[in-house]
Chains A and B, each alone.
Chain A
Amino acid sequence: MAAAAPDLRDFVGCETEGGTLRVALRGRWRLLEARPAFQDLVTSSAVPQRLVFAADGVQAWDASLPLFLVEALRWARANGVAVDLSPLPAAMRGMAEQVVAIGLHPPPPPERPGLTTRVGEATLDAARKSWDVVTFIGDCVLALIRVARRPRQFRWADCAAEMQNCGAMALPIVSLISLLVGLIMAYQAAVQLRQFGADIYVADLVGLAVVREMGPMMAAVIMAGRTGAAFAATLGNMKAGEEIDALETLGLRPVDFLVLPRLLALGLMMPLLALYANLLGILGGMAVSWQVLEIPPAAYWVETQSIVDLSDVSSGLIKSVVFGLLIGLSGCLRGLQADRSAAGVGKAATSAVVTAILLIIVADAIFAVVFNLLGI
């Protein structure tokens, strides 16, 4: 867009007559093209007592001409100069006068609340949000009780579809990540343990770490990013599209319909995914030991079996059920809380992932303490 100063004479012809400056507008006035500034017109001549505009020579104009007039009107007001716009076409004149009139009464800027108000509002907001969380969990528990009483009314088809979605469809990504985690851990362990001739203990380290911690944890983090975000986005979109309102007005509970099938699907699929992740992690460790440390896979497997017992596996699986429920809860809750807009859906998805990962880590820490106390 060329911003070169336009030639004033292409647009305006001036004629001074006593104290009156007659401004004859002419030429083409286009927003996309450069146009003169009114200020240039009046610096070149003495301040007149009266301004008279005419537009007989204007070939084409759009809003850029009224903008020029707005400038003129503001300048005239500031300098106490009378302006006569009456020779101009009504539309042109009307637009300029409209802008000047509105410009004189700008809406007051919104008041910024004080610190006390903001702290108070934040506190109330936090209380409201906590109450929402408690209510939501309560709703889910009640829904679960209803399902236990009348299992035939549960949306089994939806649940099965979700299971496929968050179970079988997640296998490729879970395989890749778990295998790589196993590989990485084995590599790190191999470098250290080899110095002491304790090569075979790579199997112990990888086996225990994967089965007790990394398998369930990595599967959960993947599912938080993959499925938790999807839950939030789907439910948020449904909320924006009034689909959830439609359920409510049909007398159906959104929690029974939308949340519980997803929650159960994740709760059931997570331990299976964790088990699968365990296996792949051990395979990763086995591959590194075989290639780098030259431990035969059979020996690695025997060593793993000797150190990993059922309580290790089951502690991991118990955790993964809880992780699954946490991911499902945070995804669905954020989705249902989403603002009814595209940005709201995006925020809900982000928030669902962040909340889920936070809860997973906190829950894992609690489990570590509890299992330690119980001696598992």
Chain B
Amino acid sequence: METPDVTAIAVEHLVCGYDDRIILRDVSFTVKPGEIFFVVGGSGCGKSTLLRHLIGLHRPRSGRIRFFGQPFTEADVEERRRIVRTFGVLYQSAALWTSSTVRENVALPLQEHTPLGPREIDDLVTLKLAQVGLTGFAEFYPAELSGGMRKRAGIARALAMDPSIVFFDEPGAGLDPVTAREIDALILQIREDFGTTCVVVSHELDSIFRLGNRLIMLDQAEAGIIAEGVPAELRDTSEDPRVRAFLRRELPLRGESSASHQPRPGG
């Protein structure tokens, strides 16, 4: 959909942290348009921190983020708000507004940001809910939906504005394997329909190998990226015990714990 010679996301020397704690030190990577890009790693490695910085909820200590060539970190407040509107975000808990129906949840960004009339918005909400398989649940409140349905509604809201990039924070967390697979299929569908760039934070190996075009793996001790590449290739060829342990579900050997410094393949 977008001109393919630009990178969708370019992150350069990003340093992230809260208060006096540095979580990520010097992180750089790029995501191509239309790619399904995974951010993986064990608990506490900074996956969610990276995501929160990418979507502008926190400002990085230093470093630059660009979306389709437009500077994001240096942009002023208005420009950042404009860029943020081109994202969709699925939060881990779906983060639906509990006092609004599913329809109102999906319609709000459309009412606020597009020149569409109420009837068109209704049609669009119908379309988005049909895309995520929630036809007939428009008038339900989030509390009346199951976990998987809430995730779907969250995806419908994230897709409402037809964003060029969608961020997914642990889309399969807390779901049964079948529902998690359905959510994965949805992510693929979104990419197929609109060529949307998808950034997925996850540690579900099944999803990573099924969907991922490329991934970066973060590590807590390293406070940064320890591997970058195609998931299956990394699994088969990586020399780094931490990467092998993660992608092959192996227990790391003694003396090869995540604190030890190994060569960084591809990183």
The complex places the Cα of A26 from the Cα of B33 at a distance, in Å, of: 22
Contacts of A66 in B (CB 8 A): 127
8 Å CB interface, B103-126 against A: 110, 113-116, 120, 123-124, 126
**Once the chains bind, are A95 and B114 in contact (CB under 8 Å)?**
no
Contacts of B2 in A (CB 8 A): 60
B257 beta carbon closer than 8 Å to chain A:
no
A3 to chain B, nearest CB (A): 5
Contacts of B143 in A (CB 8 A): 339-341
B18 beta carbon closer than 8 Å to chain A:
no
Nearest A residue to B98, CB-CB:
A341
Task: State whether A70 and B123 are in contact (beta carbons under 8 Å apart), knowing that A1-B113, A31-B116, A343-B99 are contacts in the complex.
Answer: yes
A49 beta carbon closer than 8 Å to chain B:
no
Contacts of B62 in A (CB 8 A): none
Residue-wise, chain A 319-358 has the 8 Å CB interface mask toward B (1 for contact) of 0000000000000000000011111000000000000000
Which of A34, A63, A343 interacts with B98 by CB under 8 Å? A343
Task: State whether A99 and B162 are in contact (beta carbons under 8 Å apart), knowing that A63-B124, A342-B98 are contacts in the complex.
Answer: no
8 Å CB interface, A1-40 against B: 1-3, 30-32, 34
The complex places the Cα of A32 from the Cα of B162 at a distance, in Å, of: 9
The complex places the Cα of A107 from the Cα of B122 at a distance, in Å, of: 13
B136 beta carbon closer than 8 Å to chain A:
yes
**Once the chains bind, are B130 and A67 in contact (CB under 8 Å)?**
no
**Once the chains bind, are A99 and B123 in contact (CB under 8 Å)?**
yes
The complex places the Cα of A340 from the Cα of B116 at a distance, in Å, of: 35
Nearest B residue to A29, CB-CB:
B162
**Once the chains bind, are A103 and B116 in contact (CB under 8 Å)?**
no
Which of A62, A107, A110 interacts with B162 by CB under 8 Å? A62
The complex places the Cα of A342 from the Cα of B97 at a distance, in Å, of: 9
**Once the chains bind, are A1 and B1 in contact (CB under 8 Å)?**
no
Task: State whether A34 and B115 are in contact (beta carbons under 8 Å apart), knowing that A66-B127, A343-B98 are contacts in the complex.
Answer: yes
The complex places the Cα of A64 from the Cα of B135 at a distance, in Å, of: 19
**Once the chains bind, are A1 and B162 in contact (CB under 8 Å)?**
no
Number of interface residues of B (CB under 8 A): 28
The complex places the Cα of A99 from the Cα of B128 at a distance, in Å, of: 9
**Once the chains bind, are A63 and B192 in contact (CB under 8 Å)?**
no
**Once the chains bind, are B115 and A63 in contact (CB under 8 Å)?**
no
**Once the chains bind, are A31 and B126 in contact (CB under 8 Å)?**
no
B134 to chain A, nearest CB (A): 11
Which of A3, A32, A63, A107 interacts with B127 by CB under 8 Å? A63
B193 beta carbon closer than 8 Å to chain A:
yes
Contacts of A341 in B (CB 8 A): 98-99, 143
B20 beta carbon closer than 8 Å to chain A:
no
**Once the chains bind, are B162 and A31 in contact (CB under 8 Å)?**
yes
Nearest B residue to A32, CB-CB:
B114
**Once the chains bind, are B99 and A103 in contact (CB under 8 Å)?**
no
Residue-wise, chain A 170-186 has the 8 Å CB interface mask toward B (1 for contact) of 00000000000000000
**Once the chains bind, are B123 and A31 in contact (CB under 8 Å)?**
no
A91 beta carbon closer than 8 Å to chain B:
yes
A98 beta carbon closer than 8 Å to chain B:
yes
8 Å CB interface, A98-128 against B: 98-99, 102-103, 107, 110
**Once the chains bind, are B1 and A99 in contact (CB under 8 Å)?**
no
Contacts of A67 in B (CB 8 A): 116, 120, 123-124, 127
**Once the chains bind, are B130 and A99 in contact (CB under 8 Å)?**
yes
Contacts of A60 in B (CB 8 A): 1-2
Task: State whether A62 and B114 are in contact (beta carbons under 8 Å apart), knowing that A99-B126, A102-B126 are contacts in the complex.
Answer: no
Contacts of B126 in A (CB 8 A): 99, 102-103
**Once the chains bind, are B98 and A1 in contact (CB under 8 Å)?**
no
B161 beta carbon closer than 8 Å to chain A:
yes
Residue among B126, B131, B192 having the largest count of chain A Cβ atoms under 10 Å? B126
8 Å CB interface, A74-115 against B: 91, 95, 98-99, 102-103, 107, 110
Contacts of A102 in B (CB 8 A): 126, 130, 135
Contacts of A98 in B (CB 8 A): 127, 130-131
B141 to chain A, nearest CB (A): 9
> What are 13 A-B interface contacts by the 8 Å CB criterion?
A1-B114, A32-B113, A32-B161, A60-B1, A62-B162, A63-B127, A64-B162, A67-B123, A67-B124, A91-B192, A99-B126, A339-B143, A341-B143
Please list the 8 inter-chain residue pairs (A to B) with the smallest Cβ-Cβ separation, ordered nearest first: A62-B162, A341-B98, A1-B115, A98-B130, A91-B193, A343-B99, A99-B127, A3-B115
Besides A63-B162, A98-B127, 20 other CB < 8 A contacts? Answer: A2-B115, A31-B116, A31-B162, A32-B85, A60-B1, A62-B1, A62-B194, A63-B124, A63-B128, A67-B116, A67-B123, A91-B193, A99-B126, A99-B127, A102-B130, A102-B135, A103-B123, A110-B139, A340-B143, A342-B99
